[in-house]
Amino acid sequence: MANHADTHDDHYHPPGLQHQFDDMKQQMDSVTIGMWAFLVQEIMFFGGLFTVYLVFRSRYPMAFAAGSNHLDPFWGGLNTLVLIVSSLTMALTVYYAQKGNRNMQVILIVLTMLFGTVFLGVKAVEYNDKYNHGLIPVNGWNKKIKEGEHTTEKSSLTLPFETKVSAASEEGKTEVHANPKGNFQIEDKDLELVQNAVNGNYLTQSEKIGYFNANNEIDKGMFTGKVQIFFWIYFVMTGLHALHMIIGLGVMLWLLWMAWRGTFTAQYFAPVEIAGLYWHFVDIVWIFLFPLLYLLGRHFLH
């Protein structure tokens, strides 16, 4: 609130105060509420995808378990830790900006960006892995592996107590099957999940219709379609999240430049604070994506 009725600017303006605001507190309050309103909007944006996930997971849990078992929880978990560390460095950046400590700000922004980049690098590794194993849900978009080009490759870190990393692996190795047209394909072993569900009688109504053909046998083609839905959701959700990370890195770069020039002081650090809000939000989305995509189906095979 202005404590003067004069709109003429004949007094000192603190650096960073924009002309439409009367004082720094009004500016800080405004940009904070503004960023939170933007984050609410982002919640609803991702929310649409979470709704889609919710609907299809409740319909086809076994297909989702199969899909989830093809993801590597090690890389997913590592990425989660990477983002958590980046959130810490971000929070510390705001802390030091508030203290007016330019050098620490710069170091911490660089660290935050570093971890963000590591996250994206891991995602690239994961996506490439999906490409190699015929798990990109669009036919023709996977690696074309001619008949007879069978290979086995070591899959990533297998922890001692785990019996299997994925439905398709034995002793930590992954069979790479022929895929001449680069289609989406699942393993026969994935159908074990459906068989177990039949035996244990915990298929949903939609599954009882959706996985079985006219002869009431488990149909690999029909099951594949539902796993395709899982991977469609996986790629769209993690892809959109990665896009937000990239934008976040762009914002960090701009912040780095401003911090380097010593723009932020104890009186003016609003941009750091609100950039931090955005960064933490992106972290929170991943905090939910990790268990929902990577972990909820593991126990069916153990």
Partner 1 sequence: MQNIDAINVSGIRAEPPVNYLTNGFTIKSWLLTKDHKRIAIMYLLSISVFFMLGGLYASAIRLELLTPASDLLQSGTYNKVFTQHGIIMIFLFLIPAIPAVLGNFLIPIMIGAKDLAFPRINLLSLYIYWAAGALIVFALLQGGVDTGWTFYTPYSTTFSNSYVMLVGLGIFVNGFSSILTGLNFIVTIHTMRAPGMTWFRMPLFVWAHYATSLVMILGTPVIAITVLMLALERAVGIGIFDPAIGGDPILFQHLFWFYSHPAVYIMILPGMGIISELISNFSRKKIFGYEFIAFSSIAIAVFGFLVWGHHMFVSGQSIYAGLVFSFLTMVVAVPSAIKVFNWAATLYQGSISYDTPMLYGLFFIGLFLIGGLTGLFLGAIGLTVHLTDTYFIVAHFHYVMVGGQVLAYLGGIHYWWSKMTGKMYPEFWGKIAAMLVFVGFNLTFFPQFILGYMGMPRRYASYPAEFQVLNIFSTAGASILGIGLMMPVFYLTYSFFFGKKAEANPWMLPGLEWRTASPPPTENFEKTPIVTWEAYEFGEENGLDLEEAKRRELVAPVV
Partner 2 sequence: MANYLSEEHIEGHEHEDQEHIGIPGYLVVFGILVVGTILTYFTSFLDLDKIFAGANTLLALLIAFTKMTVVVLYFMHVRWSSRLVWLTAIAGFFWLAIMFAFTMQDYLTRSSGTF
Does residue 297 bind partner 1 (CB under 8 A)?
no
Q: How far apart are CA 287 and CA 123, in angstroms?
A: 15
Compose the 173-212 pattern: x for residues touching partner 1 by CB under 8 A, - for all others: ---------------------------------x---x--
Does residue 89 bind partner 1 (CB under 8 A)?
no
- Residue 277 interacts, among partner 2, partner 1, none and using kind-specific CB cut-offs from 5 to 8 Å, with partner 2
- The encoded tokens of residue 298 equal 């593991």
Question: Cβ(285)–Cβ(43) under 8 Å?
Answer: no
- Residue 286 interacts, among partner 1, partner 2, none and using kind-specific CB cut-offs from 5 to 8 Å, with none
Residue 80's Cβ-side half-sphere holds a number of Cα atoms within 13 Å equal to 18
Q: How far is the CB of 29 from partner 1 (least distance, A)?
A: 5
Q: How far apart are CA 39 and CA 195, in angstroms?
A: 43
Bridge partners of residue 170, in order along the sequence: 173
Does residue 20 bind partner 2 (CB under 8 A)?
no
Q: For residue 145, which phi and psi values (nearest 5 degrees)?
A: -115, 115
Q: How many CB atoms lie within 10 A of CB 187?
A: 20
Report strand pairing: 169-170 vs 173-176.
Answer: antiparallel
Phi and psi based region of residue 106 (left: phi greater than 0; alpha: psi -120 to 50; beta: remaining):
alpha
Compose the 24-63 pattern: x for residues touching partner 2 by CB under 8 A, - for all others: xx-xxx--xx--xx-xx--xx--xx-xx--xx--xx----
Reported in sequence order, the residue ranges of the chain that DSSP labels E, i.e. its strands, are 151-154, 169-170, 173-176
Residue 96's Cβ-side half-sphere holds a number of Cα atoms within 13 Å equal to 16
Does residue 124 bind partner 2 (CB under 8 A)?
no
Q: How far apart are CA 35 and CA 275, in angstroms?
A: 9
Closer to partner 1 by Cβ: residue 41 or 216: 41
Does residue 202 bind partner 2 (CB under 8 A)?
yes
Q: How far is the CB of 80 from partner 1 (least distance, A)?
A: 23
The correct pick among 77, 156, 212, 249 for binding partner 2 (CB under 8 A) is: 77
Does residue 14 bind partner 2 (CB under 8 A)?
yes
Closer to partner 1 by Cβ: residue 60 or 115: 60
Starting at the edge strand found earlier in the chain, the sheet holding 173-176 runs 151-154, 173-176, 169-170
Q: How far is the CB of 99 from partner 2 (least distance, A)?
A: 9
Stretch that binds partner 1, among 36-44, 67-75, 159-167, 193-201 (CB under 8 A): 36-44
Task: Give the count of residues interacting with partner 1 (CB under 8 A).
Answer: 46
Does residue 81 bind partner 2 (CB under 8 A)?
yes
Stretch that binds partner 1, among 50-58, 67-75, 161-169, 282-290 (CB under 8 A): 50-58
Does residue 19 bind partner 1 (CB under 8 A)?
yes
Q: How far is the CB of 35 from partner 1 (least distance, A)?
A: 9
Question: Cβ(253)–Cβ(117) under 8 Å?
Answer: no
Does residue 214 bind partner 1 (CB under 8 A)?
no
Residue (of 231, 185, 226, 174) closest to 62 by Cα position: 226
Q: Which residues contact 143 (CB under 8 A, 6 or more apart)?
A: 131, 132, 134, 179, 182
Q: How far is the CB of 93 from partner 1 (least distance, A)?
A: 23
User: What sign results for the dihedral spanned by CA atoms 36, 39, 44, 45?
Assistant: positive
Does residue 56 bind partner 1 (CB under 8 A)?
yes
For partner 2, the binding residues (CB under 8 A) are 11-14, 23-25, 27-29, 32-33, 36-37, 39-40, 43-44, 47-48, 50-51, 54-55, 58-59, 73, 77, 80-81, 84-85, 87-88, 90-92, 94-95, 98, 161-162, 202, 204-206, 209, 266-270, 273, 276-277, 280-281, 283-284, 287-288, 290-292, 295-296, 298-300, 302
